[in-house]
Amino acid sequence: MFGIKRLAQKMIQGVDVVKLVLYKVLTEDFAEKYKEKGEKFYKTLATSIINEIFGCHNPESQKTFSENKKIVAEEIKNLGTKHPELKRPITDALRVFIQANQMLGSSTMKDTEYVVNLFDKAIERGIFIKGGDAPSPEPFLQMMEELIKKYNLK
């Protein structure tokens, strides 16, 4: 059992890399676009977008999402258009996120309707590649290492 939990936690660390890359890309994109609204706004917006993609809002990001639903939806679609190279990492990270949380016993991630809704929203917004399964751990973690280097996260 310890091995499964450890693997799941390692995979979630890989998902966190994708979230960091998204945060970096979004805040860089938003710095000029939303400069008049201030740095706090666009950084909170970026966080809200990431939490919306992964279906895991906290109270602050939920508030930002609720107040800016149209902007969030538009910016998620823009992400898929402006950064198509991130579709595979997002797709794989979503699949791994669900799988790893199921391995850790998350009741939310065992709710089939919740998971299908998460994938459907990602497909509709143009950030998810249909077909396929969750990637195997080694190729997924290798892709995360490549993202870390590409986006200078170390």
Total number of domains in the chain: 1
Q: How many of the other CB atoms lie within 10 Å of CB of 113? A: 7
Give the pLDDT mean for 13-17. Answer: 96
Q: What average pLDDT does range 71-99 have in this prediction?
A: 96
Q: Please state the pTM of the whole predicted model.
A: 0.93
Residue 93, helix vs strand vs coil: helix
- Is residue 78 a contact partner of residue 25, using CB atoms and an 8 Å limit? no
117-154 pLDDT, tens digit per residue, is 999 999 999 999 998 888 999 999 999 999 999 999 97
Host domain of residue 62: 2-150
Residue 2 pLDDT = 56
